[in-house]
Structure 1
Amino acid sequence: MSTVVWIILLVVALLAGVALGFFIARKYMMNYLKKNPPINEQMLRTLMMQMGQKPSQKKINQMMRAMNNQNQTK
């Protein structure tokens, strides 16, 4: 085979590998985040108690809403 064909095959294989790797990594991270959410209300409550604050449900809801809004704007 000529050199041009080998270069084209190499480029196609490289692009296919990058695309496949991206989708596999994306699927893995989505499953990981579904199983291990970054933070939830119980974690937030525990964190506030460790900092010496008495968490009310209103304050926890407010902080969760603020974190969700911050994540959506990124």
Structure 2
Amino acid sequence: MLVLVGLLALVVGLVGGFFLARFTMKSYLAKNPPISEEMMKSMMTSMGQKPSQKKLNQMMSQMKAQSAKR
């Protein structure tokens, strides 16, 4: 009986921990996107493109829309 309670507690802890970690990471990435506008600008410059503000805004909105789908 004691082993069964221990296993049940372990499974509940693992499942709860997984969903808590998942929720925490989603909220962190929503508040702090992995790529900022400055990073995008330097990346485009290094690829030989001249980044305009309009193009940067389009790319950032596409990235936000893509992350919202997940």
Larger radius of gyration: 1
The alignment partner of 2:40 has SS state of helix
Q: 1:71 to 1:36 in 2, by over 3 A?
A: closer
Please, what TM-score do these two structures have when normalized by structure 2? Answer: 0.73
Please, what TM-score do these two structures have when normalized by structure 1? Answer: 0.70
Which residue does 2:61 correspond to in 1? 65
Letter in 1 for 2:47: M
Q: Which moved more, 1:42-51 or 1:9-18?
A: 9-18
Gaps of 5+ in 2: none
Question: Over aligned residues, Cα RMSD in angstroms?
Answer: 2.3
Q: Runs (4+) of structure 1 moved beyond 4 Å?
A: none
Gaps of 5+ in 1: none
CA distance in 1, matches of 2:61, 2:49: 19
State, as a whole percentage, how many aligned pairs show the same letter.
49
**What are the equivalent positions in structure 2 for 1:1-74 lying under 5 Å apart?**
5-22=1-18, 23=20, 25-26=21-22, 27=24, 29=25, 33=29, 37-74=33-70
CA distance in 2, matches of 1:65, 1:32: 18
Aligned residues: 68
